[in-house]
Amino acid sequence: MQNAFLKLSLQFWITVIGIVLVSMLPFLFFNMEGMAMILTLIEAGKIQDGNFIGVSVGIDFYRYFDAIKDVVVSMVHPGDLKYHYFGEVDKPLFPEMFTRYSYSLKVLMGSFVISVLSACLITFFLILLPKALKKTLRFGVFMLESIPDVFLVIFFQITVVWLYKKTGILFYEIVSIDKPIYFIPIICMSIVPTMYLIKVLIQLFDEELDKHYVELAKAKGLQWPFIVLVHMFRNVLISLHNHSKTIFVLMLSNLLMIEWVLNIKGIGYFLLRYGPVNPELITYGLILIFVPFFLLFALLGAISRKNKRSVYE
Protein backbone atom coordinates (compact mmCIF):
# COMPACT_ATOMS: atom_id res chain seq x y z
CA MET A 1 0.00 0.00 0.00
CA GLN A 2 2.68 2.44 1.08
CA ASN A 3 4.80 1.40 -1.84
CA ALA A 4 1.98 2.09 -4.29
CA PHE A 5 1.43 5.51 -2.73
CA LEU A 6 5.13 6.35 -3.03
CA LYS A 7 5.12 5.28 -6.67
CA LEU A 8 2.04 7.38 -7.42
CA SER A 9 3.46 10.49 -5.81
CA LEU A 10 6.74 10.03 -7.70
CA GLN A 11 4.76 9.74 -10.92
CA PHE A 12 2.80 12.86 -10.00
CA TRP A 13 5.88 15.00 -9.35
CA ILE A 14 7.73 13.83 -12.45
CA THR A 15 4.68 14.63 -14.58
CA VAL A 16 4.38 18.09 -13.01
CA ILE A 17 8.06 18.70 -13.76
CA GLY A 18 7.39 17.54 -17.31
CA ILE A 19 4.48 19.96 -17.67
CA VAL A 20 6.64 22.84 -16.43
CA LEU A 21 9.44 21.90 -18.83
CA VAL A 22 7.05 21.64 -21.78
CA SER A 23 5.08 24.80 -21.15
CA MET A 24 8.21 26.91 -20.60
CA LEU A 25 9.54 25.95 -24.04
CA PRO A 26 8.90 29.41 -25.62
CA PHE A 27 11.60 30.83 -23.35
CA LEU A 28 14.05 28.39 -24.89
CA PHE A 29 13.46 29.87 -28.33
CA PHE A 30 12.57 33.53 -27.77
CA ASN A 31 13.55 36.41 -25.61
CA MET A 32 10.02 36.61 -24.22
CA GLU A 33 10.75 39.38 -21.74
CA GLY A 34 12.26 41.64 -24.38
CA MET A 35 9.28 41.00 -26.62
CA ALA A 36 6.89 41.80 -23.78
CA MET A 37 8.70 45.09 -23.27
CA ILE A 38 8.27 45.96 -26.97
CA LEU A 39 4.60 45.12 -26.61
CA THR A 40 4.17 47.42 -23.62
CA LEU A 41 5.94 50.20 -25.54
CA ILE A 42 3.52 49.73 -28.43
CA GLU A 43 0.59 49.71 -26.03
CA ALA A 44 1.76 52.94 -24.47
CA GLY A 45 1.88 54.50 -27.96
CA LYS A 46 5.58 55.33 -27.78
CA ILE A 47 6.43 53.37 -30.92
CA GLN A 48 4.29 52.35 -33.89
CA ASP A 49 5.70 48.88 -34.46
CA GLY A 50 8.76 46.83 -33.67
CA ASN A 51 10.13 46.63 -37.19
CA PHE A 52 13.46 48.19 -36.36
CA ILE A 53 14.17 45.93 -33.37
CA GLY A 54 15.54 42.62 -34.57
CA VAL A 55 14.40 39.72 -32.41
CA SER A 56 15.37 36.34 -33.72
CA VAL A 57 14.79 32.72 -32.85
CA GLY A 58 17.67 31.16 -30.99
CA ILE A 59 18.20 28.43 -28.45
CA ASP A 60 19.30 29.70 -25.04
CA PHE A 61 19.32 27.26 -22.14
CA TYR A 62 20.26 29.85 -19.51
CA ARG A 63 17.14 31.86 -20.33
CA TYR A 64 15.07 28.69 -20.25
CA PHE A 65 16.24 27.55 -16.82
CA ASP A 66 15.98 31.08 -15.45
CA ALA A 67 12.36 31.20 -16.58
CA ILE A 68 11.66 27.82 -14.99
CA LYS A 69 13.21 28.99 -11.73
CA ASP A 70 11.06 32.15 -11.83
CA VAL A 71 7.87 30.17 -12.40
CA VAL A 72 8.59 27.75 -9.57
CA VAL A 73 9.40 30.62 -7.21
CA SER A 74 6.30 32.57 -8.28
CA MET A 75 4.04 29.65 -7.39
CA VAL A 76 4.78 30.29 -3.71
CA HIS A 77 2.81 33.56 -3.78
CA PRO A 78 -0.11 32.93 -6.13
CA GLY A 79 -1.82 36.15 -5.05
CA ASP A 80 0.81 38.35 -6.68
CA LEU A 81 0.61 36.81 -10.15
CA LYS A 82 -0.27 39.05 -13.06
CA TYR A 83 -0.82 38.75 -16.79
CA HIS A 84 -0.95 41.17 -19.70
CA TYR A 85 -1.97 41.40 -23.34
CA PHE A 86 -2.27 43.95 -26.15
CA GLY A 87 -3.84 47.11 -24.85
CA GLU A 88 -4.64 45.64 -21.45
CA VAL A 89 -2.75 46.64 -18.34
CA ASP A 90 -1.42 43.98 -16.00
CA LYS A 91 -4.27 42.28 -14.23
CA PRO A 92 -4.09 40.15 -11.10
CA LEU A 93 -4.45 36.52 -12.10
CA PHE A 94 -5.99 34.61 -9.33
CA PRO A 95 -9.60 35.36 -8.53
CA GLU A 96 -10.37 35.51 -12.27
CA MET A 97 -8.46 32.38 -13.20
CA PHE A 98 -10.17 30.49 -10.42
CA THR A 99 -13.72 31.32 -11.52
CA ARG A 100 -12.88 30.31 -15.09
CA TYR A 101 -11.15 27.18 -13.85
CA SER A 102 -14.05 26.04 -11.68
CA TYR A 103 -16.46 26.57 -14.58
CA SER A 104 -14.33 24.54 -16.99
CA LEU A 105 -13.77 21.83 -14.42
CA LYS A 106 -17.52 21.46 -13.98
CA VAL A 107 -17.95 21.14 -17.74
CA LEU A 108 -15.09 18.64 -18.01
CA MET A 109 -16.27 16.46 -15.15
CA GLY A 110 -19.89 16.63 -16.32
CA SER A 111 -19.04 15.55 -19.82
CA PHE A 112 -16.69 12.84 -18.50
CA VAL A 113 -19.47 11.31 -16.42
CA ILE A 114 -22.02 11.66 -19.22
CA SER A 115 -19.75 10.16 -21.85
CA VAL A 116 -18.80 7.17 -19.68
CA LEU A 117 -22.43 6.49 -18.78
CA SER A 118 -23.79 6.90 -22.30
CA ALA A 119 -20.95 4.84 -23.80
CA CYS A 120 -21.68 1.99 -21.38
CA LEU A 121 -25.39 2.16 -22.16
CA ILE A 122 -24.93 2.27 -25.93
CA THR A 123 -22.37 -0.55 -25.89
CA PHE A 124 -24.70 -2.68 -23.77
CA PHE A 125 -27.45 -2.36 -26.38
CA LEU A 126 -24.98 -2.81 -29.25
CA ILE A 127 -23.80 -6.12 -27.79
CA LEU A 128 -27.35 -7.41 -27.58
CA LEU A 129 -28.15 -6.57 -31.22
CA PRO A 130 -28.01 -9.17 -34.02
CA LYS A 131 -24.67 -9.52 -35.79
CA ALA A 132 -25.37 -7.80 -39.13
CA LEU A 133 -26.88 -4.73 -37.50
CA LYS A 134 -24.00 -4.62 -35.03
CA LYS A 135 -21.49 -4.54 -37.86
CA THR A 136 -23.12 -1.58 -39.63
CA LEU A 137 -23.52 0.33 -36.38
CA ARG A 138 -19.86 -0.30 -35.54
CA PHE A 139 -18.91 1.12 -38.91
CA GLY A 140 -21.04 4.19 -38.15
CA VAL A 141 -19.23 4.67 -34.84
CA PHE A 142 -15.90 4.32 -36.66
CA MET A 143 -16.92 6.99 -39.18
CA LEU A 144 -18.11 9.38 -36.48
CA GLU A 145 -14.97 8.79 -34.45
CA SER A 146 -12.72 9.89 -37.27
CA ILE A 147 -14.38 13.29 -37.71
CA PRO A 148 -12.14 15.84 -35.97
CA ASP A 149 -13.53 17.40 -32.81
CA VAL A 150 -13.32 21.03 -34.01
CA PHE A 151 -15.50 20.25 -36.97
CA LEU A 152 -18.13 18.55 -34.85
CA VAL A 153 -18.33 21.77 -32.86
CA ILE A 154 -18.58 23.88 -36.00
CA PHE A 155 -21.25 21.60 -37.50
CA PHE A 156 -23.07 21.73 -34.18
CA GLN A 157 -23.10 25.51 -34.16
CA ILE A 158 -24.20 25.73 -37.80
CA THR A 159 -27.04 23.30 -37.12
CA VAL A 160 -28.22 25.28 -34.11
CA VAL A 161 -28.25 28.51 -36.13
CA TRP A 162 -30.04 26.77 -39.02
CA LEU A 163 -32.66 25.40 -36.63
CA TYR A 164 -33.12 28.88 -35.18
CA LYS A 165 -33.69 30.32 -38.64
CA LYS A 166 -36.18 27.57 -39.52
CA THR A 167 -38.16 27.22 -36.31
CA GLY A 168 -37.40 30.30 -34.26
CA ILE A 169 -36.28 28.31 -31.24
CA LEU A 170 -32.89 29.32 -29.90
CA PHE A 171 -31.30 26.36 -28.17
CA TYR A 172 -28.61 28.39 -26.44
CA GLU A 173 -27.17 31.85 -26.36
CA ILE A 174 -24.61 31.93 -29.19
CA VAL A 175 -22.45 34.46 -27.40
CA SER A 176 -22.37 34.04 -23.67
CA ILE A 177 -21.59 37.30 -21.92
CA ASP A 178 -21.76 36.74 -18.21
CA LYS A 179 -24.22 33.94 -17.54
CA PRO A 180 -22.35 30.62 -17.67
CA ILE A 181 -23.93 28.01 -19.92
CA TYR A 182 -23.60 24.33 -19.12
CA PHE A 183 -25.93 22.26 -21.24
CA ILE A 184 -24.54 22.88 -24.73
CA PRO A 185 -20.79 22.64 -24.02
CA ILE A 186 -21.28 19.48 -21.97
CA ILE A 187 -23.34 17.81 -24.72
CA CYS A 188 -20.93 19.01 -27.41
CA MET A 189 -17.92 17.79 -25.49
CA SER A 190 -19.21 14.34 -24.74
CA ILE A 191 -19.63 13.29 -28.40
CA VAL A 192 -15.99 12.52 -29.20
CA PRO A 193 -15.08 10.75 -25.92
CA THR A 194 -18.30 8.73 -26.16
CA MET A 195 -17.42 7.48 -29.63
CA TYR A 196 -13.88 6.63 -28.53
CA LEU A 197 -15.17 4.82 -25.44
CA ILE A 198 -17.68 2.81 -27.46
CA LYS A 199 -14.90 1.68 -29.79
CA VAL A 200 -12.68 0.63 -26.89
CA LEU A 201 -15.51 -1.06 -25.00
CA ILE A 202 -16.54 -3.13 -28.01
CA GLN A 203 -12.93 -4.24 -28.50
CA LEU A 204 -12.68 -5.25 -24.85
CA PHE A 205 -15.97 -7.15 -25.06
CA ASP A 206 -14.71 -9.05 -28.09
CA GLU A 207 -11.65 -10.11 -26.12
CA GLU A 208 -13.84 -11.12 -23.19
CA LEU A 209 -16.14 -13.30 -25.33
CA ASP A 210 -13.50 -16.05 -25.70
CA LYS A 211 -12.96 -16.51 -21.99
CA HIS A 212 -14.06 -19.63 -20.17
CA TYR A 213 -16.37 -18.10 -17.62
CA VAL A 214 -18.59 -16.72 -20.37
CA GLU A 215 -18.91 -20.19 -21.89
CA LEU A 216 -19.63 -21.66 -18.50
CA ALA A 217 -22.33 -19.10 -17.84
CA LYS A 218 -23.85 -19.79 -21.25
CA ALA A 219 -23.75 -23.54 -20.60
CA LYS A 220 -25.49 -23.04 -17.29
CA GLY A 221 -28.35 -21.51 -19.23
CA LEU A 222 -28.07 -17.96 -17.93
CA GLN A 223 -29.74 -15.26 -19.98
CA TRP A 224 -27.41 -13.43 -22.37
CA PRO A 225 -28.26 -9.89 -21.15
CA PHE A 226 -27.67 -11.05 -17.60
CA ILE A 227 -24.22 -12.44 -18.46
CA VAL A 228 -23.27 -9.25 -20.28
CA LEU A 229 -24.52 -6.92 -17.61
CA VAL A 230 -23.39 -8.73 -14.47
CA HIS A 231 -20.39 -10.86 -15.38
CA MET A 232 -18.70 -9.29 -18.36
CA PHE A 233 -19.26 -5.63 -17.61
CA ARG A 234 -17.26 -5.68 -14.40
CA ASN A 235 -14.20 -7.17 -16.04
CA VAL A 236 -14.43 -4.81 -19.00
CA LEU A 237 -14.69 -1.76 -16.76
CA ILE A 238 -11.51 -2.82 -14.97
CA SER A 239 -9.51 -2.88 -18.20
CA LEU A 240 -11.06 0.40 -19.32
CA HIS A 241 -8.85 2.13 -16.78
CA ASN A 242 -5.84 1.68 -19.09
CA HIS A 243 -7.38 4.10 -21.58
CA SER A 244 -8.05 6.92 -19.12
CA LYS A 245 -5.09 9.01 -20.24
CA THR A 246 -6.15 9.08 -23.88
CA ILE A 247 -9.66 10.06 -22.89
CA PHE A 248 -8.34 12.86 -20.73
CA VAL A 249 -6.24 14.36 -23.55
CA LEU A 250 -9.11 13.96 -26.00
CA MET A 251 -11.41 15.84 -23.66
CA LEU A 252 -8.90 18.55 -22.87
CA SER A 253 -8.16 19.39 -26.49
CA ASN A 254 -11.89 19.22 -27.13
CA LEU A 255 -12.46 21.71 -24.31
CA LEU A 256 -9.94 24.16 -25.75
CA MET A 257 -11.56 24.05 -29.18
CA ILE A 258 -15.14 24.29 -27.90
CA GLU A 259 -14.39 27.28 -25.73
CA TRP A 260 -12.57 28.98 -28.58
CA VAL A 261 -15.23 28.32 -31.22
CA LEU A 262 -18.32 28.89 -29.07
CA ASN A 263 -16.72 31.91 -27.42
CA ILE A 264 -17.12 30.60 -23.88
CA LYS A 265 -14.91 32.34 -21.38
CA GLY A 266 -13.55 29.29 -19.59
CA ILE A 267 -9.97 28.36 -18.83
CA GLY A 268 -9.33 26.99 -22.33
CA TYR A 269 -10.21 30.31 -23.94
CA PHE A 270 -8.13 32.09 -21.33
CA LEU A 271 -5.06 29.94 -22.01
CA LEU A 272 -5.35 30.26 -25.77
CA ARG A 273 -5.86 34.01 -25.70
CA TYR A 274 -3.27 35.03 -23.12
CA GLY A 275 -0.95 32.03 -23.30
CA PRO A 276 1.35 33.11 -26.15
CA VAL A 277 2.38 36.27 -24.33
CA ASN A 278 2.40 34.80 -20.82
CA PRO A 279 3.57 31.16 -21.03
CA GLU A 280 3.43 30.93 -17.23
CA LEU A 281 -0.35 30.92 -17.52
CA ILE A 282 -0.19 27.65 -19.44
CA THR A 283 1.93 26.10 -16.70
CA TYR A 284 -0.53 27.05 -13.97
CA GLY A 285 -3.56 26.16 -16.05
CA LEU A 286 -2.30 22.74 -17.13
CA ILE A 287 -1.22 21.83 -13.60
CA LEU A 288 -4.57 23.00 -12.20
CA ILE A 289 -6.46 20.84 -14.71
CA PHE A 290 -4.08 17.92 -14.31
CA VAL A 291 -4.33 17.57 -10.51
CA PRO A 292 -8.01 16.61 -10.07
CA PHE A 293 -7.94 14.23 -13.02
CA PHE A 294 -4.75 12.59 -11.78
CA LEU A 295 -6.41 12.03 -8.40
CA LEU A 296 -9.54 10.67 -10.07
CA PHE A 297 -7.58 8.24 -12.25
CA ALA A 298 -5.43 7.15 -9.30
CA LEU A 299 -8.60 6.41 -7.35
CA LEU A 300 -10.14 4.49 -10.24
CA GLY A 301 -6.88 2.59 -10.72
CA ALA A 302 -6.75 1.66 -7.03
CA ILE A 303 -10.36 0.43 -7.14
CA SER A 304 -9.79 -1.60 -10.29
CA ARG A 305 -6.58 -3.12 -8.93
CA LYS A 306 -8.39 -4.13 -5.74
CA ASN A 307 -11.18 -5.72 -7.77
CA LYS A 308 -8.71 -7.55 -9.97
CA ARG A 309 -6.95 -9.01 -6.95
CA SER A 310 -10.22 -10.23 -5.51
CA VAL A 311 -11.08 -11.86 -8.82
CA TYR A 312 -7.88 -13.90 -8.96
CA GLU A 313 -7.55 -14.81 -5.29
Partner 1 sequence: MIRLIRHPLFIIGFLIIAGLLIGSVVYSIYFKPDHFEPMKIMYDEHKTPIAAAPFKPSEMPPFGSDRFGHSMFIKVLDGAKYTLGIAFSVAFLRLLLSFLIGVIISLSGKFVNNFLKQLIEAFNYTPMTIIVYLIVAPVLVVYGWNFTKTEQMLYPFIVLVLVAVPSASILISDEIKEMMKQEFIVNSKVLGGRKLHILRKHVMPFLSPRLLIIFTQQVIGTLLIMAHLGVLKVFVGGRDIITLNAFEGTTMPVAMLNEWSGMIGGSFHELMMAKWIILAPIYGFVISILALNFMIEGMKSTILNYKVSSAKRKKWKRKKTPIVTAEKNFEFVKNEVNKNVSSL
Residue 82 Cβ vs partner 1, minimum distance, rounded to whole Å: 18
Least distance from partner 1 to the Cβ atom of residue 120, Å:
24
Which residue, 121 or 147, is less far from partner 1 as judged by CB?
Answer: 147
Of the pair 99, 253, the CB lying nearest partner 1 is at 253
CB of 167 to partner 1, least distance (A): 18
Least Å distance between CB 153 and partner 1? Answer: 9
Q: How far is the CB of 121 from partner 1 (least distance, A)?
A: 25
Are 234 and 258 in contact, with CB atoms under 8 Å apart? Answer: no
Residue (231 or 273) nearer to partner 1, CB: 273
Identity of the residue, 15 or 223, whose beta carbon is nearer to partner 1 in the bound complex: 15
What are the CA-CA distances from residue 266 to residues 82, 159, 259, 272 (Å)?
Answer: 18, 23, 7, 10
Q: Which is nearer to partner 1, 97 or 217 (CB)?
A: 97
Point out which residues bind partner 1 (CB under 8 A).
10-11, 14-19, 21-23, 25-26, 29-30, 32, 35, 38-39, 49-51, 53-57, 142-143, 146-148, 150-151, 154, 157-158, 161, 245-246, 248-249, 252-253, 256-257, 260-261, 271-272, 275-277, 279, 282, 286, 290, 293-294
The residue among 84 and 106 lying less far from partner 1, judged by its C-beta, is 84
**Minimum Å distance from CB 48 to partner 1?**
10
